[in-house]
Structures are given as C-alpha cells and as structure tokens.
A and B are shown apart, each in its own frame.
Chain A
Amino acid sequence: ETGVTQTPRHLVMGMTNKKSLKCEQHLGHNAMYWYKQSAKKPLELMFVYSLEERVENNSVPSRFSPECPNSSHLFLHLHTLQPEDSALYLCASSQEQLAYSYNEQFFGPGTRLTVL
C-alpha cells in the first residue's frame, strides 16, 4: 500500500449504530487530518492531529470521536449520527516541519457515509 488509504470506502449505517472509519498513511508523516465534504458544500476541516496529539477540533459534535493511536493511523468513531451527517469523509496527512514552512497534504480516497 502506498499513500493514504481509508476503509471502508462506503458505509451505510442507522442512526443508532456505532461504526468507525479508519485511515492509514504510509508516508512517514506526523500530522493527520479529518475533513468532511457534504453534497454541494466545500470541504470542512474537522480534526487535526500533530505528533499524535489533537491540536484542532473545529466545533465538531461529540457524536464524532477521533482517535490517533500512532502516527500512521487515524480513526473516526461514529455513534448516534443523524441523516445530515451523510457525507464524504476524507483523511489527509502531512509532514510537520519547522514553523512557517509548507508541506503539501496527501489525501485518501475518502469514505462515503450514508446515515439512514
């Protein structure tokens, strides 16, 4: 496997289910991100992990719970979701550098989530 992988690629769940999305990066990066892309809306940053610590949480409801057990893996745990949470969930990674330098983000293919 190369780059950033996400599983599952598609997920259908009921509002009372608990499920998890998995992201794995094979690039040796030390920062990972979750984004949400709803229909007709721009990508929204949800969470950022840097050196396995959560450094950003953009007012995301508690029914979304991220976990970063190591620098290569990122999870998004889902419980009691609403139909409006149906979206494409994208994971990305980058190499954290010295301040004020830039490294591109590499994105995974996303998980298409449908909440019934």
Chain B
Amino acid sequence: DAKTTQPTSMDCAEGRAANLPCNHSTISGNEYVYWYRQIHSQGPQYIIHGLKNNETNEMASLIITEDRKSSTLILPHATLRDTAVYYCIVKLPPPGGYNKLIFGAGTRLAVHP
C-alpha cells in the first residue's frame, strides 16, 4: 500500500470550505484513495473513496490530481461537528473480500466559530 503524507493539523472557520490535502506520490495504478474521519471518542467513519475521477457524496468531495500523486478532501461548508481527525488511506481493493485498513496519524481538523 502506498504511503500517504498529511498535515498534522488544520483550522477552518465555520461555514467555510475545509480543504484537506493528502500526498501519495508512490500510488500505483490500481490503488484507491479512501477517506475516513474520527470524531473525538468515537469510532472512525467512512467518508468517500475514489480511483481517478473526482467523487462527490452527501458528506464531501474528493479531488484527485491527474497524475494521482495527491488528492484533496473538501468539506464544502464546515460545521463544528466536522471537528475530527481525518485519515487518508491509499490501498488496493481487497483480494479476499474483507478490507484491511492501515491508518496513519491523519490530519486534526479544528472548525471554529
């Protein structure tokens, strides 16, 4: 699985867009980019994943550069409830059906009023 690099922490004003970068310069052609987040004292929560194309769901948008060496998770209108640690994970889909996630340190996003 490719190594990822994320900033340790970021701040965002409530109501503004939060843009969380992730560098994965060693990503291979078949590896996906996954994002999870962990709100304090809770289990991680899946946000979104993508391979090449940009993706959007009700929670966030994922922008992947054309060379796939980096990506950005966008929370379009951050709220205080979005304060959490955000994890970027790059890996192949599981060959055996179950999914083994390897978490790094992530980015601690603080949304302030």
- Minimal beta-carbon separation of B51 from chain A (angstroms): 10
- Minimal beta-carbon separation of A86 from chain B (angstroms): 15
Residue numbers in B under 8 Å from A91 (CB-CB): 43
A4, A50, A99: the one within 8 Å of B95 (CB) = A99
Does B96 belong to the interface (CB within 8 Å)? yes
Give the distance in Å from the alpha carbon of A99 to the alpha carbon of B101 in the complex: 16
Residue numbers in A under 8 Å from B43 (CB-CB): 4, 90-92, 107-110
- Asked if B102 contacts A50 (CB within 8 A), the reply is no
- Asked if B44 contacts A31 (CB within 8 A), the reply is no
Residue numbers in A under 8 Å from B94 (CB-CB): 99-100, 102
Q: Which of A57-107 contact B (CB under 8 A)?
A: 90-92, 94, 96-107
Residue numbers in A under 8 Å from B99 (CB-CB): 31, 94, 102-103, 105
Give the tally of cross-chain contacts (CB within 8 A): 71
Give the distance in Å from the alpha carbon of A98 to the alpha carbon of B41 in the complex: 33
Number of interface residues of A (CB under 8 A): 29
- Asked if B95 contacts A94 (CB within 8 A), the reply is no
- Minimal beta-carbon separation of B34 from chain A (angstroms): 8
Interface residues of B, dominant DSSP = loop
- Asked if A98 contacts B97 (CB within 8 A), the reply is yes
- Asked if B100 contacts A104 (CB within 8 A), the reply is no
Q: Which of B4-19 contact A (CB under 8 A)?
A: none
- Asked if A42 contacts B46 (CB within 8 A), the reply is no
Residue numbers in B under 8 Å from A11 (CB-CB): none
Residue numbers in A under 8 Å from B96 (CB-CB): 50, 55, 96, 99
Residue numbers in A under 8 Å from B44 (CB-CB): 43, 90, 92, 105, 107
Name B's A-contacting residues (CB within 8 A).
Answer: 32, 34, 41-46, 49, 92-106
Name A's B-contacting residues (CB within 8 A).
Answer: 4, 31, 33, 42-43, 45, 48, 50, 55-56, 90-92, 94, 96-110
Q: List 9 A-B contacts (CB under 8 A).
A: A42-B105, A90-B43, A92-B44, A96-B98, A103-B99, A104-B46, A105-B101, A107-B43, A110-B41
Those 8 A-B pairs whose CB atoms lie nearest each other, nearest first: A107-B43, A104-B46, A96-B97, A31-B98, A43-B103, A50-B98, A100-B93, A42-B103
